[in-house]
Amino acid sequence: MARYGMALDYKNCINCKACEVACKEENGILMGADKHRIWVGVKEIKGEYPLLDIVSSSFEPSQCQHCESAPCQEVCPTNATYYDENGVVRVDPDKCILCSYCMNACPYDARYVDDRTMTVDKCNFCSDTRLARGETTTACQATCPTKVRTFGDLDDPESEISVLLRTREHFSLKSHLGTKPKLFYLT
């Protein structure tokens, strides 16, 4: 039993999209599918040439935030969305009725419809694949060339992610909504 989370040193992101490719390969996500499971958001450069604010441009890798108080789980009428023993927010496709309420309720737009099963899918921190095989890394983390992502057990004080969160300042997305995300953006 662990409490998995992920820290993102997002300023290191070079938008190479290797994480998206690795995720698709590892978890069998449809190729070409836009913004499925994980994506990299691009903040445009502000200002007009030649007065461009170059530092305003940044990349923000994103995905399901694996909230401790997940709105998508609360609104699910059949409990198809559930927290597993590692605190990972997951979907049981057998119970999903495709009412799309979770898609509307998720503040992070992290859910999408898998066209093969016609159920709602999302990132599950590679729980069906790498974690199930006993590994303790995710595909996106393992492939990242600039080591943006650090995945680990938040309850283990010696884990790399716990050390990072103790020593680096960080923020969470839309934390004012009280969702308690387990994705942390390092500053």
Partner 1 sequence: MAEAVKKQGIKEFITSIPYNKIGLKDLMSFEKTPRNIIIAVITFAFLVSFAVGVALYLMHGHHSYNVTREHPWGLLIAVYIFFVVSSTGLCIVGSLGDVFGYKEYEMISKRAIFGSIVTIIAGFAVIAFEIGHPVTMLIYNVLTPGFTSAIWWMGTLYGLYLTFMIIEFVFLLKHDMRMARIFGLTGLLVGLAAHSNLGGVFGFLNARTISNGVFYPTYFILTAFITGIFIAFIMMGIRYRLSFPENAKKMLTNLAKIQGLLIAILIFFVTWKMLTDIYGGMPNRSEVALHILGSWTFWAEVVLAMAIPLLIILKSKGSAIHAMFWASLGGMVGVFFMRYNLVHDTQLKPLQMMKVREYQLAPEWVHYFPSAAEIMISLGGLGLCILLYYVGTKLFNLDAETH
Provide the binding-site residues for partner 1, judged by CB under 8 A. 34-35, 39-44, 60, 62, 71, 74-80, 94-101, 103-109, 111-113, 115, 118-119, 174, 177-179
C-alpha span between 9 and 12 (Å, rounded): 6
Residue closer to partner 1 (CB basis): 87 or 152 = 87
**Least distance from C-beta 153 to partner 1, angstroms?**
27
User: What 3-state class would DSSP assign to 32?
Assistant: coil
Query: Is the distance from CB of 146 to CB of 13 less than 8 angstroms?
Result: yes
End-to-end Cα, the chain, rounded Å: 29
Structure tokens at 16: 């190479």
**Least distance from C-beta 93 to partner 1, angstroms?**
10
- C-alpha dist (Å) from residue 165 to 81, 116, 132: 28, 38, 26
Residue closer to partner 1 (CB basis): 101 or 137 = 101
Residue 159 gets which letter from DSSP? S
**Least distance from C-beta 152 to partner 1, angstroms?**
26
Residue closer to partner 1 (CB basis): 101 or 164 = 101
Residue closer to partner 1 (CB basis): 83 or 163 = 83
**Least distance from C-beta 162 to partner 1, angstroms?**
28
